[in-house]
Amino acid sequence: MLVFTRKRDQTIMIGDGIEVRVLRVGRDGVRLGVSAPADVAVHRREVYDTIREENRQAAAAARTKVPLLRTLRSPRVGSRPRTA
């Protein structure tokens, strides 16, 4: 991990399109502003971790539970996703 000490209004650049700026340093935390290209997702880490764990459980459930469903004998066809 790269470690920086930044004062308010100072910025870190990541790659050539991402910037993290310290907006405010206070007793209840540090307020950060993030600029990133539209195709880059920015998340609170704990939110991402929560969704990751939910997905892992869901994938494990699909792997173990779905084979118990009754199967058809003939192959089925997937289709291009369409909206209702």
Partner 1 sequence: MGTHVTPMTPPGPIRVDTGFGEFTVNPGDLVSFPSGLPGFERCRSFALLSSEELAPLSYLQAVGGPPASFLVIDPRQVLPDYRCALGQSDLGRLGATESSVLLWLAIVSFTDDDHAWANLRAPVVINPQKMIGYQVLPHNSLYPLRHPLTPA
42: contact with partner 1 by CB under 8 A? yes
23: contact with partner 1 by CB under 8 A? no
Question: How many angstroms separate the CA atoms of 57 and 45, rounded?
Answer: 19
Closest CB to partner 1 among residues 29, 78: 78
CB of 13 to partner 1, least distance (A): 19
Q: Which residues contact 18 (CB under 8 A, 6 or more apart)?
A: 34, 35, 36, 37, 40
The two tokens of residue 15 are 């790659």
Q: What residues make contact with partner 1 under the rule CB under 8 A?
A: 36, 38-43, 47-48, 50-59, 61-63, 65-67, 69-72, 75-84
